[in-house]
Homo-oligomer: A and B are copies of this chain.
């Protein structure tokens, strides 16, 4: 059997694993904290070490396995044609020729794409969007990213910017976003902004169990805390989750009217809120988008929590290799 190493470089974790060429199995998956504060060179060194150990472990578990190459998912913006990471504020990488570095240090051919694109491609290849001709993925974490599968292939646009769903305006004069714009979807529905909206309500006097959950230190409220409180029936937390669903419903409704996909996959911790999120989200989409677009589309949580990016990175390698063959 032939395998591809998938590497997912996240702001929080580095994740690697070896994926069978047909997507049927993930071997030797491993992860460690990114610890970006240790510096760019240190992150790269540890990433290469993690990758080498995964390759060795794969050869141990699957004797005779052929490792075809390495696919890497990295935070953008990127130049996928040149294999260069243009800028990652969190990691301190500027114009880093990551594809070549990985190729040289691991001695294997390599391919590079955006982390959100990899996550969506992974979900499309072996996860929740499998079999769809047109699929959209939206990844919700510290930011909101996304990726588009159109006519059965990852869509990059003219300069690898496509899929920046988090930075579509849903409210022209709305909340300030860290991108500098106003009213971006991300300014409402990213993890930190979910926590911030709860905090604002508490500071405005709303009654909630959230302060008790963080022992009075309001700075410790995170999106996870909000989901936990919502699961426990806290009214404020439920309201925050419900509002999050509506904001996501506006953004996803827009995507349905423009792309008319078969499936929208929502990835990230926000899916932990379960029906508290998905029921009002689907209601808002149905209210906003055209009926034939709503009828054509499933809106589902990701099925590969934690490994979608690794599967997708491996698939990126396979696709780029096939395209250049």
Contacts and interface: CB of A to CB of B under 8 A. Distances in A.
Closest 6 CB pairs of A and B: A157-B260, A158-B296, A161-B260, A164-B257, A168-B254, A162-B260
Report the copy number of this chain in the oligomer: 2
Given A158-B261, A159-B296, A162-B260, A169 B170 contact: yes
Given A167-B290, A169-B288, A247-B172, A259 B296 contact: no
B172 A158 contact: no
A130 interface: no
B157 A293 contact: yes
Nearest to A261: B158
Given A169-B253, A254-B169, A162 B288 contact: no
Contacts of A259: 157, 162
Residue among A157, A171, A247 having the largest count of chain B Cβ atoms under 10 Å: A157
Nearest to A146: B258
Given A150-B150, A164-B258, A258-B164, A158 B297 contact: yes
12 contacts: A148-B258, A150-B150, A158-B297, A159-B292, A159-B293, A159-B296, A161-B296, A167-B257, A168-B258, A171-B171, A171-B172, A172-B246
Contact of A261 (B157, B172, B262): B157
Contacts of A156: 260
A150 B158 contact: no
Contacts of A158: 133-134, 260-262, 293, 296-297
A168 B262 CA distance: 18
A165 interface: yes
A163 interface: yes
Residue among A133, A134, A165, A172 having the largest count of chain B Cβ atoms under 10 Å: A172
Contacts of A165: 257-258
Nearest to A86: B292
Interface in A49-108: 77
B170 A260 contact: no
A234 interface: no
Nearest to A156: B260
A163 B173 CA distance: 25
A27 interface: no
Interface in A130-174: 133-134, 146, 148, 150-151, 155-165, 167-174
A158 B134 CA distance: 7
A137 to B, nearest CB: 12
B181 A287 contact: yes
A257 B255 CA distance: 12
A174 B260 CA distance: 23
A256 to B, nearest CB: 8
Contact of A258 (B163, B174, B290): B163
Nearest to A188: B172
Interface in A165-196: 165, 167-174, 179, 181
A250 interface: yes
